[in-house]
Amino acid sequence: MKHVFIEDIKSGMILGEDLLNNFNVTVFNKHHVVKDEDIEKIKKLDLLMISIAEEKDLIDKSENNDEAEDSIIEAERQKYFDSFKDNYYDIINKYSSYASNLDSSSKDAIEKTANDLISALEKEKSFVEIIKLIRSEDFDVHRHCVNVSIISFIIGKLLKMSNREKRNLVLTGLFHDVGFTCSAKDILGRPVIGVEDEPKHPFHSCEKVKSVYSFENEVIFGILNHHERIDGSGFPRGVKGNDINIYSRILAVADEYDRMTTKSSKGENSPFSTLESLNKMSYGGGLDPKVVDVFTNMYTGNYLGHKVLLSDGRKGKIVYRNKYDKFRPMVKSGDEFIDLYSEYKLNIVDFI
Ligand SMILES: [Fe+2]
């Protein structure tokens, strides 16, 4: 099974799922072979992507065995991010070993971390899986920096930034909070972020990185302004609008997302409620709407087929993206279709 953007649908493709209209009426059945005349009808369903069956999906499908289909999808997903997972933990370990004590001897290690992260990410296609994987159980500033770096790279790629710009984004993410390493440490030797450090840490981060590595100016300003907000409500200087470069704007979204979805953080927010919060923060003038949009669309454009847990304990699979509210899709649980757009008291609590 693969997911294909609606504009890439071609005659001869085989549907991997039933396609429903806004009234939950099946317009095309699963395994229907798309013909030229179907393409316009499919486009009118206002979907971003649809599932397309591949040859191996059709083997032994005569009994329409949902469980077998689910395991094929799972196996494909597993394959996508298994290699990334090993690299991810290795990168965090290596980064943690030098980030607290940055000095001029860290140059090679900085280069290596950036190169390893970029090559692991360039190979990966399933960004939703990566973002699910890097969600932290516990807040740790080193893991947070690596996570923000990864999310920023993904946003940069979605914004079609150049390789140089994506590399600078990775570096900005890796070192944006390194000023916290000047702070007290916990019993595991991890930096403890104190309230008193919060307003000053972008300055500390800049001072620290400038003394050890010749970062481009846009990286330095990216680090300095990662808590600034477009409406001037941020810190440490309260700059606003175009005075905040694209690196800081991307980092602001990545930073908020990672903090809000860390499981032990204040809100223990689900990815879905966090995406909705980011959306509201962009309407309010704090976050860059274009950056938030590209990030949330990456999620909601690829969530079809993902398994989720609902707030009433039911488990299901996302089968339909609602055109009026992309954060409230339709979920199939057993034989039941649950439309979260109308079932407004129900929420997606998590991916499973
Ligand atoms: Fe920060």
**Tens digit of pLDDT for each residue in 105-118?**
888 999 999 999 99
Query: Would you state the pLDDT for residue 243?
Result: 95
For residue 202, how far is its CA from the centre of ligand 1 (angstroms)? 6
- At 331 the three-state DSSP class reads strand
Quick one: 216 and 263 in the same domain?
yes
For residue 250, how far is its CA from the centre of ligand 1 (angstroms)? 13
Q: How many CA atoms lie within 13 A of 25 on its CB side?
A: 2
Quick one: 333 and 240 in the same domain?
no
Quick one: 321 and 256 in the same domain?
no
For residue 176, how far is its CA from the centre of ligand 1 (angstroms)? 6
Return the ∠ at Cα 322 (arms to 341 and 308), rounded to 5°: 75
For residue 240, how far is its CA from the centre of ligand 1 (angstroms)? 17
Residues 6+ apart with CB under 8 A from 297: 48, 326
Whole-angstrom distance, CA of residue 181 vs CA of residue 193: 9
For residue 61, how far is its CA from the centre of ligand 1 (angstroms)? 51
Residue 34 sits in a domain of what CATH number? 3.90.105.10
Query: Cβ distance 181 to 103 under 8 Å?
Result: no
For residue 87, how far is its CA from the centre of ligand 1 (angstroms)? 24
Query: Would you state the pLDDT for residue 149?
Result: 97
162-171, 205-214, 334-343: least confident range: 205-214
For residue 119, how far is its CA from the centre of ligand 1 (angstroms)? 25
For residue 133, how far is its CA from the centre of ligand 1 (angstroms)? 22
Give how many domains the chain has, as a whole number. 3
Domain boundary (278, 300, 322) is at: 300
**DSSP secondary structure letters along 252-277:** HHHHHHHHHH-TTSSS---HHHHHHH
The answer to whether the predicted template modeling score (pTM) of the entire model surpasses 0.85 is no
**Helix or strand run (H / E) with residue 52:** strand 49-53
* Greatest extent of the chain over all pairs of C-alpha atoms, in Å: 66
Quick one: 10 and 152 in the same domain?
no
For residue 161, how far is its CA from the centre of ligand 1 (angstroms)? 23
Whole-angstrom distance, CA of residue 170 vs CA of residue 331: 35
User: Is 37 or 294 the better-scoring residue by pLDDT?
Assistant: 294
For residue 16, how far is its CA from the centre of ligand 1 (angstroms)? 43
For residue 44, how far is its CA from the centre of ligand 1 (angstroms)? 43
Highest mean pLDDT among 71-80, 194-203, 204-213: 204-213
Mean per-residue pLDDT for 171-196? 69
Mean per-residue pLDDT for 256-274? 78
User: Is 130 or 80 the better-scoring residue by pLDDT?
Assistant: 130
For residue 191, how far is its CA from the centre of ligand 1 (angstroms)? 13
pLDDT > 70: what percent of the chain?
85
Mean per-residue pLDDT for 87-115? 90
Query: Cβ distance 1 to 73 under 8 Å?
Result: yes
For residue 339, how far is its CA from the centre of ligand 1 (angstroms)? 38
- For tokens 């997911």, name the residue: 3
For residue 79, how far is its CA from the centre of ligand 1 (angstroms)? 33
**β partners of residue 51:** 3
Quick one: 267 and 171 in the same domain?
yes
Highest mean pLDDT among 57-61, 148-152, 320-324, 330-334: 148-152
Q: Using a CB cutoff of 5 Å, list residues around ligand 1, an ion.
A: 177
For residue 309, how far is its CA from the centre of ligand 1 (angstroms)? 31
Quick one: 131 and 254 in the same domain?
yes
For residue 108, how far is its CA from the centre of ligand 1 (angstroms)? 24
- For tokens 């304990």, name the residue: 313
Domain boundary (284, 300, 316) is at: 300
Quick one: 18 and 145 in the same domain?
no
In which band, very low, low, confident or very high, does the pLDDT at 44 lie, cut at 50, 70 and 90? confident
Quick one: 59 and 170 in the same domain?
no
Quick one: 124 and 178 in the same domain?
yes
At 276-328, the pLDDT tens digits run 899 999 988 899 999 999 999 988 888 888 889 998 999 999 998 888 888 89
Q: Cα 171 to the chain's mean position, in Å?
A: 18
Quick one: 20 and 80 in the same domain?
no
Quick one: 135 and 230 in the same domain?
yes
Range of the domain at 27: 2-64
Residue 263 sits in a domain of what CATH number? 1.10.3210.10
For residue 273, how far is its CA from the centre of ligand 1 (angstroms)? 22
**Helix or strand run (H / E) with residue 316:** strand 315-320
Query: Is pLDDT of 190 > 80?
Result: no
For residue 186, how far is its CA from the centre of ligand 1 (angstroms)? 18
Which tokens go with 300?
């909601």
Quick one: 58 and 107 in the same domain?
no
In which band, very low, low, confident or very high, does the pLDDT at 20 lie, cut at 50, 70 and 90? confident
Query: Would you state the pLDDT for residue 189?
Result: 57
Q: Per residue, what are the HEC states of 126-159? A: CHHHHHHHCCCCCCCHHHHHHHHHHHHHHHHHHC
- What sign for the dihedral angle of Cα 159, 131, 138, 106? negative
